[in-house]
Structure 1
Amino acid sequence: MFEIQNLKYEEVLDIPQLSIGEGITVIVGASGSGKTTLLRLLNKSISPTAGSIQYKGTELSQLSSVKLRREVLMLSQQPAIFKGDLRHNLEIGFKFQQRPLPTEAEMLDMLERVHLNKALDTPVDRLSGGEKQRLAIGRVFLLKPEVYLLDEPSSALDDATEESVISLVVEQARKGGQSIVMVTHSKAVAAQFADEIIEFDAGRAQVRGATS
């Protein structure tokens, strides 16, 4: 899926070679080791200082950023929440991509799946941090990209909700034949859900293994 060769980004990353295949890839490592930087590079949010990244055999530099981000969608650790209500936040990605809006039933179903049982006209300023995180996850999953880049998607959730939401994310991706590249601080999440684990240490990446 992604092939990386001689990749460097400023003084943050130095990866001679790395392959990221389909399925569930979990990236672990200390804070500041370059995990989030890699996700941003895969999404073309930033460009490499040197080296190359290919997506499905094509250099990212040759791909339209708009087209790439329809297929490879990133959810940051502090995702954007837009003023207004839940409906507006769930529809806005479709408006950006000039796609037909989801139905009310689809939106309510997704809210239920991420354990956010609120009315669509609920103002977002009434939501807690964890509820906003779940709203952002629901928005991403409604868009159904081919690849999800998730940066600490459960950072604002308690342990019980973390497991249920990550389980949902993985289940939905597997069911839809989609892939996930996920940064997490949680070794439990990595051990439970990863097909492959990549460990970062001071800007270098090493494939550590896969779950059984």
Structure 2
Amino acid sequence: MFVIEGLIYKNILQISKMEIPAKTITCLVGESGAGKSTFLKMLNLMLSPDRGDIFFQDQHVKDIDPVQHRRKVVMLAQQPTIFPGAIRDNLNKGLAFAEKRLKEDDELSRALELVHLHKKLDEDAERLSGGEKQRLALARVLLMDPEVYLLDEPTSALDAETEELVMNRFISTLKEKGKTVVMITHSQKLAAKYGENIIKLEKRAGEQDE
């Protein structure tokens, strides 16, 4: 799905060759400052390397329209954006961006149930806790149904028990649909359980934070 060759970005990343296969769960691991979040942003065309090439589905990313790419390749930041308004509005915001049909309430509620977020659709999204906001964002990207999910520490605000409940169902759903997932995690347990392809990024000497 992704092929990376000779990539250099500042003093943060240096990748001679890397492949991320389609329809698999790839976990990016490594200490803080190793460039994991930076790398994810490059896959989403939010950043460009100083040198080297990134190919997506055999096409160089320089030849891809970034907006169209981000509708196929959706990134979820560690601290996801929560928009003013109700939970319903937040769930449909991603669909509006992707120019897809907005979902009816029953579909929205099923997405919340899948990520174990037991809230009403008309509740104020900005009043949710950090962990609840992460789950709301997971439900939002699930509804968008992209080809590729780029997840940056999607469970960092969840306790271990909730993390397992949420990710079991979330990852199982994506695998059933044949989706590609690239996930940053500091959780060795999470990487060992779900990572079909584990890539470790090493922090370079004198490297900046991610």
The TM-score with structure 1 as length reference comes to: 0.94
Q: Are the aligned partners of 1:34 and 1:203 in contact in 2 as well (CA < 8 Å)? A: no
Structure 1 residues 179-198: aligned runs within 5 Å = 179-198=180-199
CA distance in 1, matches of 2:182, 2:71: 15
The structure carrying a bigger strand percent of its residues is 1
Q: Matched residue pairs, number?
A: 204
Q: Deviations over 1:23-62 (max 9, x none)?
A: 0000100000011111000000111111000001000110
| Structure 1 gaps, min length 5 | 205-212
8 Å CA contact 1:8, 1:51 repeated in 2: yes
Q: 1:85 to 1:179 in 2, by over 3 A?
A: same
CA shift for structure 1 position 169: 2.1
Q: Secondary structure at the match of 1:111?
A: helix
What's the counterpart of residue 43 of structure 1? 44
Alignment partner of 1:148 is 2:166: no
Q: Is the 8 A contact 1:15 1:203 kept in 2?
A: no
Q: What is the distance in 1 between the residues matched to 2:164 and 2:118? A: 18
Stretches of structure 2 lacking an aligned partner (at least 5 in a row): 206-210
Summarize the alignment of residues 112-191 of structure 1 with structure 2, pairs less than 5 Å apart. Answer: 112-191=113-192
| 1:201 match: secondary structure | coil
Which residue identity does 1:30 align to in structure 2? E
CA offsets, 1:71-117, max 9 Å, x none?
Answer: 11000000100011101100111222222101111100000111111
User: 1:178: Cα distance to partner?
Assistant: 0.3
CA deviations on 1:120-177 (whole Å, 9 max, x unpaired) are 0000132111101100000000000011000000001000011111212210111111
TM-score with structure 2 length normalisation?
0.95
CA shift in 2, pair 1:14/1:88, >3 Å: same
Alignment-derived partner of residue 6 in structure 1: 6
Q: Would you say the 8 A contact 2:12–2:204 is kept in 1? A: yes
Provide the alpha-carbon RMSD of the alignment: 1.2
Offset at residue 203 of structure 1 (A) = 5.2
Q: Partner letter of residue 124 of structure 1?
A: A
For the structure 1 residues 2 and 112, does the alpha-carbon distance in structure 2 shift closer, same or farther, using more than 3 Å as the test? same
Partner residue, 1:25: 26
Secondary structure at the counterpart of residue 38 of structure 1: helix
